[in-house]
Structure 1
Amino acid sequence: MLQLQSAFGVIALLGLAWLCGENRSKVSLRKAAIGLTVTIATAVVLLKLPIVAHAFGAINDAVSTIAAASRAGTSFVFGYLGGGALPFDLKAPGADFVLALQALPVVLVISVLTTLLFYWRILPPIVRGMAWLLERTLGIGGAVGLSTAANIFLGMVEAPLFIRPYIAQLTRSELFLVMTGGMAGIAGTVLVLYATFMAPLLPDASAHFVIASVLSAPAAILVSLIMVPETEDRRTDGLLAKPDSPANSTMDAIVRGTTAGIELLVNIVALLLVFVALMYLMNAILMLFPTMGGTPLTGQRIVGYLMAPICWLMGLPWDQALTAGSLMGVKTILNELIAYVQLSKLAPDALDPRSRLIMLYALCGFANFASLGIMIGGLGTMAPERRNEINALGLKSILSGTLTTCLMGAIVGVLN
């Protein structure tokens, strides 16, 4: 019965995406059917053939190498604040992690690498190749296809860097797809961290996180095309003109990539700080209202109550849906890291093993308000002429990213 409940949830979640979308009459049922088929087929292959997940794990190791290279640079420049050896004994696990000096600087490295790859004319042919393939399957352009595929292993800002010269040319639907892909996935740099929290509960946690990252690509395309269907002629299809070279030499590419990355990094840090502060102020105001059940009212709790029916649609029993909805509230208002920490600390009887597996997938995305600040800062810096449109699509991208991860949870519920 729970599997049938999840199957109903798949249809209901797609219907909710349609209701919350724009230009609903323009939604292509054919593209939606193909997208759903591809998403379910991908889930079946990855969940029933573990060797495939291990193959993607090897690719993730390559991305981890980039993160390790970035950590080497931050350790050299910032010492133990940047991830180097601590000159003292660590008393609180995780207290040595400094987001701005350890995780975010990877943007600099990715910015330089993408500038080099464009200067060396390696990425443009890949974009055109992706266009040829994806136009004949899911009907999307190669530029957004590359960005969405990169989101499997990279973050919401690092992945669009691969198509930075094309962002200004994207249609509204394609721009929304880029944003949805970022909100619906997690970066390979944090995958291991989350797997560490979940390993005691799920022995194959790392494999499931890899599967979730891969599954998020077709699922994001499906939800995005339903919420913001294509109504314009694409300008980044297979006949895309070659972009101007971003540099004059290899060294110039390194310098230009670093300069662009610095501007991007500063925007991300500033907006992340502001959004987290605003969320704190919102909760401080809510604290002035009467408590509910003896517990202060917070933004997380409000979203949690709203998300409980969605968790039921994913296939969770109703007596566990409220607990799961609270986790979704924490993930949406704060971030998925805190939600995974809380999930790992739940009492054994709070969620059964199947529900925990579904929630692993449902929480596996960057769709939260702090991430929205990062995305607006990043994409707005890459394409300043599209900043107003990026801002307008911001809140909708949180919804689309959340619906995408919940759709993945429901599909996993059908198969388990």
Structure 2
Amino acid sequence: MKYLIFIISLLIIFIVASAISFKTREIKRKAIPIVVLLLIEAIVAFIFLHTSVGTTILNTTSMGLEYLIRHANKGIDFVFGDISHKTPVVFVIVALMPLVFICSIIGILKYFGILRLIILILGSLINKVAKVGKLESFSAMSAVVVGMMAVYVSIKEYIPNLTKPQMYTIAACSLSTVDIAILGAYTQMLSPQFVFIGVCLNFFSTFVIISIINPNDPVEVPSHFSSFKDEHHSFFEVLTDHMLDGFKLILAIIPMLLGFIALISMLNDIFSYIIGISFQGLLGYIFSPLAFVLGVPWQDSIQFGQIIATKILTNEFVAMVDYIKLENLSPRTEAIMSVFLISFANFGSIGIIIACIASISKEHGKIIAANSFRLIIGSTLVSCLSATMVGIFVS
């Protein structure tokens, strides 16, 4: 049954992506890269979930993240007292405060050129497989390493000359991938192994969906283009700047959580009073068919439908807060739901991207705003593809 659902899910994803494609007739040119990317994605999912090598990688990654979080808690406990080990835990302290320490590690790796080397190597490999262009593939890698906003700063000299499809591709890459600074917060709410799997699968899913929605020729850039510059400041300046960046990231997340959770609570109350069902309950029924098509058992589909809607309308953190309250989920449902949540595919993130690009080029900010619907659909399809892919390999 799950194999039939998997095939149906792929068909629906491809049909929807084709329906919003810039050039539907050109999709056939991308057939080979799409098939190759899907095969690689399936192999990656199989290795992680069904081989000793994959298990070792996941366990090592989980232990590495736990190690960083443990040391991050040392700083948290010094500032706030022994709060990270108390129950009930404070969400901001346990999930978000480690971002400061993780960002400082990123700063160190950037200072010594390690992250730039990773971008160059992996960006080149992705470009060879996906055939999406150097600017697009390097932008995707940069989004993972330096974050969604920093990507546009690193390529700002190219933005004024980019077309609408090209702008879509770069924006879609930053929406569908997750920067490493935020992973520590995710692992405090989701299973670390699924966080890591989700990040890996999203990378391939992103280029599958982009190849369908934007099958145009890639951007031409100089041969020496690297999209990411090494830090030229002093070591301690880089270190303190990244610590401050981590804290700014926390300050950006907290207002959204406060506002969205309060708004959803009010809407739940209003809808319950007027029609006898909460706002999230109603969305759960609306999105339950999508949840079922992704491979979630029917008995869990309404709950997952609520999570899908919450993530798209608000952000992944609000959805994760709701997700961790759910109990007695099957292993397959847990895998699918966890992987689906690993991305920035929501309206709030699109608003941030529009503001960032508009600060560089107002005209191109308007281009992104005009393509908001295509972006939210495309980035959600990326999450759907990754989720349905992991679901086929979990019993």
TM interval, shorter chain, is 0.7 to 0.9
CA distance in 2, matches of 1:387, 1:257: 31
Correspondence 1:202-217 to 2 at 5 A: 205-217=191-203
Alignment of 1:371 with 2:349, yes or no, is: yes
TM-score scaled by length of structure 2: 0.74
Alignment of 1:352 with 2:337, yes or no, is: no
Correspondence 1:64-143 to 2 at 5 A: 80=79, 85=81, 92-97=88-93, 103=99, 123=116, 133-143=125-135
User: 1:319 deviation in Å?
Assistant: 3.4
Native 8 Å contact 1:7 1:410 kept in 2: no
Match of 1:221 in 2: 207
RMSD between aligned residues: 4.6
Deviations 1:191-234 (A, max 9, x none): 34444444xxxxxx322321211111110111123223325x61
Match of 1:294 in 2: 276
Cα separation, partners in 2 of 1:57 and 1:142, compared to 1, 3 Å: farther
Native 8 Å contact 2:296 2:333 kept in 1: yes
Alignment of 1:393 with 2:371, yes or no, is: yes
Aligned length: 390
Native 8 Å contact 2:18 2:212 kept in 1: yes
Native 8 Å contact 2:69 2:98 kept in 1: no
Native 8 Å contact 1:42 1:215 kept in 2: yes
For 1:13, the aligned partner's letter is I
Local SS of the residue matching 1:140: coil
For 1:409, the aligned partner's letter is A
Match of 2:302 in 1: 322
Structure 1: 5+ residue stretches without partners: 199-204
Match of 1:310 in 2: 290
**Paired residue for 1:49, among 51, 56, 59?**
51
For 1:45, the aligned partner's letter is V
Match of 1:149 in 2: 141
TM-score scaled by length of structure 1: 0.71
Local SS of the residue matching 1:137: helix
User: 1:9 deviation in Å?
Assistant: 0.7
User: 1:404 deviation in Å?
Assistant: 0.8
For 1:213, the aligned partner's letter is V
Local SS of the residue matching 2:215: coil
Correspondence 1:264-283 to 2 at 5 A: 273=255, 277=259
Deviations 1:294-340 (A, max 9, x none): 2333xx44543332221121122333322210121222233323433
Match of 2:180 in 1: 188
Local SS of the residue matching 1:136: helix
Native 8 Å contact 2:336 2:387 kept in 1: yes
User: 1:139 deviation in Å?
Assistant: 0.8
User: 1:174 deviation in Å?
Assistant: 3.9
Cα separation, partners in 2 of 1:229 and 1:56, compared to 1, 3 Å: farther
Cα separation, partners in 2 of 1:235 and 1:151, compared to 1, 3 Å: same
CA distance in 2, matches of 1:173, 1:64: 40
Native 8 Å contact 1:223 1:403 kept in 2: yes
Moved more, 267-276 or 208-217: 267-276
Structure 2: 5+ residue stretches without partners: none
Native 8 Å contact 1:63 1:189 kept in 2: no
